[in-house]
Chain A
């Protein structure tokens, strides 16, 4: 133990001569873990908000029981349902007069936890007591209450920030009396969640409606966290390259110390142990800074995140960030692991140092053979991962495949640069010696700047890749949405009477109605959603089919074929013209696939068939939605008549414009954050280049001295150095874009189909590339200039003095 501390002291003392490197090491770890932990916080907050919002959404989209004809269900129905064993909760939901506020009445005792922030129960607060005292409670957010300052004087208002705006929740009895609906409810919530076996309702006048829309929102937020997590991981990685260069440099300087220690007879394991201990101490310190920095950065990013989340769920996440001790340890642990990983090469190098051997930078046999083994393993591994991700259900294989492709790219990068420069130099006529030397020296410079440029390469290529995928998705999605939502209105149908009324109004205004009807069936032992629709020419003109035969529309009109969604076709490997055995409502049918349609954003398996065919399985079911197409001039009148005479609340009329706006808003916000993170990552890459430049400064001076001595001015030498950096940066940019396209391709061809079930046609975005390219050039230029200033190369006397003295 005593010896351990003695050795540790000697080892640590080395930093005295390498204060710069120590600083950069700490900074590198701190930056990397700042980025990582900020992304972690953001993701945690997102997931937290998601959970609660999905709970809320599922309340709204819980299967509900309504009356077939009347706009309400009665106390009588309730009692009879409960008596026959149905678990239901009565709910009142209606617009508040003269406002756009929705008031909801629930059974506070049964449903109270729905209102309160997660983890609290009604008993925790004094609400229960107030309730028992007969007070009429009304829950809502502060903003909502501001809109009704003078109304509802009989209610005790309780502010809860997490309740969506324009929504008020009260006890069912008080809401009933407020709306004059004694003994009546809008619907019953069906609590028994297992819907796969459709329960038969005991009452003829009632019907069960279910809607799975919540799943779609979950998908969008999943892709959101996925996106952010990818960037977080990337930035952490890029940041660790700073550590890689500075520790590598510092370790080169302590070779002599280690050699002496070994000569004295200190055990190798003890030396390694002290080295690791030292690194862990540094990463504990820097990781703590990083955790704090992450907290600050997350706070900066969160307003945007907030925006996105509230777009998705209509409910803001609270600005408060939860930080726990375990989270802190987790951040520091990640920092420690990252540090050890990025220092492993330097550690191995010191470990291999023999006391008798001469100090030499080149001879690192173990490292060489190790890297040869790694290279040799890389290609078969990549193919294995590819094979696994295409054929098996192992999801990790997808990421391992992407990761190994990126690693292959990183190993190819220096090789390609070297070959390219080599061949150009070879082709030069003999008299262009200066250019020849420039190319050769660029090659060497590039090899020394390996870490900096790999960081650049990663930052740029992943940026281009993720951007390419997300933007392609966006534009494909928007175009698809544009066609898919061809009607002016989509109206949810509550009952048959309502349907007839709506159809009357549509007729009155010369519109066309397209009913859409939905139920469940099974294919290959898996649940699928079955849609019945009327395949008219409007669908034919607007509906984007990914794959079809020439007479696809005629055949589906005749009920000979069905269309399946892309998700279903990819997951179940269904091709055009395949015959499917379907099991629908206890009947079996064998039918051919006539077309495959895109259905982005929907995680479910789905197929569509002609309405008449659908009716053979579900003869009495009425459409759940109808799409209405109207001439422009009739729209306003139609809407007014519809909302005043037929539909109880405006929520059941979906305005596609609104849907479009919300979807685009979500995308835009995801972009904003991704772009911010991309910029930060590029900045970190530039910083890595900067530390790399500083760390090789001495070596570089020796390389350049002969040129200077031959008769070049210092300014000329510096200009030539800048030119080399410029050449290298642009080559890296060029290759990064190539790599970025490959990444985008893998994301769309492998990861998206396997994770979400659709394939997006990848597009290219030269404008964005140019933008990124320019930013990269500016960043590397400043990194170079600053590193020159830092090492005083600029003042001509200093360039040679130190070196001349060392000769």
Chain B
């Protein structure tokens, strides 16, 4: 059995809103292992994003525990939590992944320099793999959606995380660009042994990933 990188134990999440409480899922257990790729599917509104936020440490579960490596994430101080997020995990969304006031190159190097894993060769390889060399001097706002997502992936990977969470990374892209971005993600997963968790609506995409998890009726199940 492979090492687990992030482990979700008996996690449930309830939102308390004006119109009452909303229970998204109960007693969910997932073990995200090293160099494995996961798809997370489910209907809109079931709580996939929320689950991903919990797995990446952005949101606290109502009950249950989240382990990153061997550490119980929510027992840590805020600064230690931030350090774990900085070093171990990376997350990308449909948008707002890039720092607007930095150029593409500065964006890619930023995280890796902050967490002191900066490695020029490694970064150059990623830039080549993602075919974004010609964009390096640009500002994020001048890129197309697909380009932005590729830069976001490069930025996330440059810091050499153990696991990369992606919340519908291709949701706002057309079919062609979706395929390019997804192929690159899979390629990277294989080449650099980075675990991958992708939320997607597309069963076609899901079928390309090693494990497919479905969130349905408050439970998670393997497909």
The yes or no verdict on A and B being binding partners is yes
Asked if residues B87 and A711 are in contact (CB atoms below 8 Å), the reply is: yes
B115 within 8 A of A: yes
Q: How far is the CA of A703 from the CA of B114 in the complex (A)?
A: 18
Residue contacts A-B, CB under 8 angstroms, 15 given:
A437-B101, A702-B96, A703-B100, A706-B98, A709-B85, A710-B86, A710-B159, A711-B83, A711-B89, A711-B114, A712-B82, A713-B82, A715-B78, A800-B58, A804-B58
Q: Give the Cβ gap from A186 to chain B, nearest Cβ, in Å.
A: 81
4 tightest A-B contacts by CB?
A711-B86, A711-B85, A713-B82, A433-B113
Q: A805 — nearest CB in chain B belongs to which residue? A: B49
Q: Mark B82-124, 1 if CB is under 8 A from A, else 0.
A: 1111110111011111111110001001110111001000000
Q: How far is the CA of A711 from the CA of B87 in the complex (A)?
A: 8
Q: How far is the CA of A369 from the CA of B96 in the complex (A)?
A: 30
Give the interface segment out of A292-300, A438-446, A451-459, A660-668.
A438-446
| Residues of chain A with a CB closer than 8 A to B106's CB | 433, 436-437
B59, B83, B110: the one contacting A433 at CB < 8 Å is B110
Asked if residues A706 and B82 are in contact (CB atoms below 8 Å), the reply is: no
Q: How far is the CA of A29 from the CA of B87 in the complex (A)?
A: 50
Q: How far is the CA of A711 from the CA of B114 in the complex (A)?
A: 10
Name the interface residues of A425-450: CB closer than 8 Å to any CB of B: 430-431, 433-434, 436-437, 440-441, 443-444
A807 within 8 A of B: yes
Name the interface residues of B162-193: CB closer than 8 Å to any CB of A: 167
Q: How far is the CA of A803 from the CA of B167 in the complex (A)?
A: 14
Q: Mark B56-87, 1 if CB is under 8 A from A, else 0.
A: 00111000000000000000001101111111
Asked if residues A796 and B109 are in contact (CB atoms below 8 Å), the reply is: no
Asked if residues A444 and B110 are in contact (CB atoms below 8 Å), the reply is: no
Asked if residues A712 and B86 are in contact (CB atoms below 8 Å), the reply is: yes
Q: Give the Cβ gap from B89 to chain A, nearest Cβ, in Å.
A: 8
B53 within 8 A of A: yes
Do A804 and B99 form a contact, CB below 8 Å, given A436-B106, A711-B85, A711-B86?
Answer: no
Q: Give the Cβ gap from A79 to chain B, nearest Cβ, in Å.
A: 92
How many residue-residue contacts, CB under 8 A, span A and B?
A: 84
Instruction: Please tell me the size bucket of the interface on A.
Output: 20 to 34
Q: A715 — nearest CB in chain B belongs to which residue? A: B78
Do A437 and B99 form a contact, CB below 8 Å, given A711-B82, A716-B79?
Answer: yes
Q: How far is the CA of A289 from the CA of B90 in the complex (A)?
A: 53
Q: How far is the CA of A705 from the CA of B167 in the complex (A)?
A: 15
| Residues of chain A with a CB closer than 8 A to B53's CB | 804
Q: Which residues of B contact A (CB under 8 A)?
A: 49, 53, 58-60, 78-79, 81-87, 89-91, 93-102, 106, 109-111, 113-115, 118, 159, 167
Q: How would you classify the secondary structure of chain A's contact residues: helix, strand, loop or mixed?
A: helix
Q: Give the Cβ gap from A436 to chain B, nearest Cβ, in Å.
A: 7
| Residues of chain B with a CB closer than 8 A to A807's CB | 93-96, 167
Do A710 and B114 form a contact, CB below 8 Å, given A433-B109, A705-B96, A796-B78?
Answer: yes
Asked if residues B93 and A444 are in contact (CB atoms below 8 Å), the reply is: no
| Residues of chain A with a CB closer than 8 A to B86's CB | 710-712
Q: Besides the contacts A433-B114, A702-B96, A711-B111, what 9 more A-B pairs have beta carbons closer than 8 Å?
A: A431-B113, A441-B101, A444-B100, A703-B101, A705-B96, A710-B86, A713-B79, A796-B78, A804-B58
Interface centre among B58, B82, B97, B109 (most CB of A within 10 A): B82
Q: Which residues of A contact B (CB under 8 A)?
A: 430-431, 433-434, 436-437, 440-441, 443-444, 702-703, 705-707, 709-716, 796-797, 800-801, 803-804, 807
Q: How far is the CA of A709 from the CA of B114 in the complex (A)?
A: 13
Q: B168 — nearest CB in chain A belongs to which residue? A: A807
| Residues of chain B with a CB closer than 8 A to A705's CB | 96
| Residues of chain B with a CB closer than 8 A to A714's CB | 78
Q: How far is the CA of A797 from the CA of B102 in the complex (A)?
A: 26
Q: Give the Cβ gap from B4 to chain A, nearest Cβ, in Å.
A: 20
Q: How far is the CA of A703 from the CA of B107 in the complex (A)?
A: 13
Asked if residues B114 and A706 are in contact (CB atoms below 8 Å), the reply is: no
Asked if residues B96 and A444 are in contact (CB atoms below 8 Å), the reply is: no
Q: Give the Cβ gap from A796 to chain B, nearest Cβ, in Å.
A: 7
Q: Give the Cβ gap from B110 to chain A, nearest Cβ, in Å.
A: 5
Asked if residues B101 and A434 are in contact (CB atoms below 8 Å), the reply is: no
| Residues of chain A with a CB closer than 8 A to B87's CB | 711
Asked if residues A437 and B83 are in contact (CB atoms below 8 Å), the reply is: no
Asked if residues B101 and A713 are in contact (CB atoms below 8 Å), the reply is: no
B49, B78, B96, B167: the one contacting A713 at CB < 8 Å is B78
Q: How far is the CA of A89 from the CA of B106 in the complex (A)?
A: 90
